Amino acid sequence: MTEPQTIPVLDKGFVRLVDAMGDDRRIVQAARVSYGEGTKTVREDAALIDYLMRHRHTSPFEMVEFTFHVKAPIFVVRQWFRHRTASVNEISARYSVLKDEFYEPTPGELRAQSKVNKQAGEGRLPAAEAERASALLAAAGRDVYARYQELLALGVAREQARSVLPVGIYTEFYWKQDLHNLLHFLRLRLDHHAQAEIRAYARAVAEFVKARVPLVWRSFEEHVLNARTLSASEL
């Protein structure tokens, strides 16, 4: 059982490691079932892990498992839950009244709409616009939460009243996933195509992974994160 630890993310969120099973040696041990007895030193273990990573022998990486407790805004969670190879438990907004905690980026954290990449924010807003936008966002949270409370006070069911709550509100969930699919998640969500907010969470998750399976992490950086694929005509 790993020591619980918590890494704060964004203004009110966090990633906490609840538990993990297996480590670098488990991967080697599982691979050895296939390839017979063999490597013994850390150096040989590292070489075997590197071989598996390079040749996409991904099944041994599935032998390691992580469970996280995460607090994040709904719009981040919506992106996160598109990854289906995981087990999840989330707060029910039918069962509980959600708290008034919204993602409120500071003026300096607001990004301008990119002209080139239709899908992303890019660069800072001018100071005045940023101030105005940040204030707007804060006001939006306050106003909407007052309405939510009014709906509840009128007796409206929580499951319907919550329909006014914004996707910037914080929610919490447990996330359990094996290392192979977690690395796949990290590859996609550490990438600069991913939205900055989920990238902040991915970096926190990566910290825990790196600490648990250092040999795998080095190999992942070498062969995946910092590798480059040349297409047939580029070769």
Ligand X SMILES: Cc1cc2nc3c(=O)[nH]c(=O)nc-3n(C[C@H](O)[C@H](O)[C@H](O)COP(=O)(O)OP(=O)(O)OC[C@H]3O[C@@H](n4cnc5c(N)ncnc54)[C@H](O)[C@@H]3O)c2cc1C
* Catalytic sites, residue numbers: 189
Least CB distance to its own copies at residue 201 (A): 15
Q: Which does 163 bind (CB under 5 to 8 A by kind): its own copies, ligand X, none?
A: its own copies
Q: Which does 207 bind (CB under 5 to 8 A by kind): ligand X, its own copies, none?
A: none
Nearer to ligand X, 47 or 88 (CB): 88
Least CB distance to its own copies at residue 41 (A): 20
Nearer to ligand X, 183 or 204 (CB): 183
Residues 38-97 that bind ligand X (CB under 6 A): 57-59, 62, 82-90, 92, 95
Q: Which does 81 bind (CB under 5 to 8 A by kind): its own copies, ligand X, none?
A: its own copies
Nearer to its own copies, 19 or 100 (CB): 19
Q: Does 26 bind ligand X (CB under 6 A)?
A: no
Among the listed residues 27, 87, 62, the one whose alpha carbon sits nearest the alpha carbon of residue 178:
62
Q: Which residue is nearest to ligand X (CB)?
A: 92
Q: With left for phi above 0 and alpha for psi between -120 and 50, is residue 171 left, alpha or beta?
A: beta
Q: With left for phi above 0 and alpha for psi between -120 and 50, is residue 117 left, alpha or beta?
A: beta
Phi, psi of 26 (to 5 degrees): -60, -40
- Tokens at 220, concatenated: 């992942």
User: What are the distances in angstroms from CA 188 to CA 82, 152, 203, 209?
Assistant: 12, 39, 12, 15
**Which residues, listed in sequence order, are joined to residue 14 by a DSSP beta bridge?**
8, 71
Nearer to ligand X, 81 or 100 (CB): 81
* Alpha-carbon 96 to chain mean position: 24
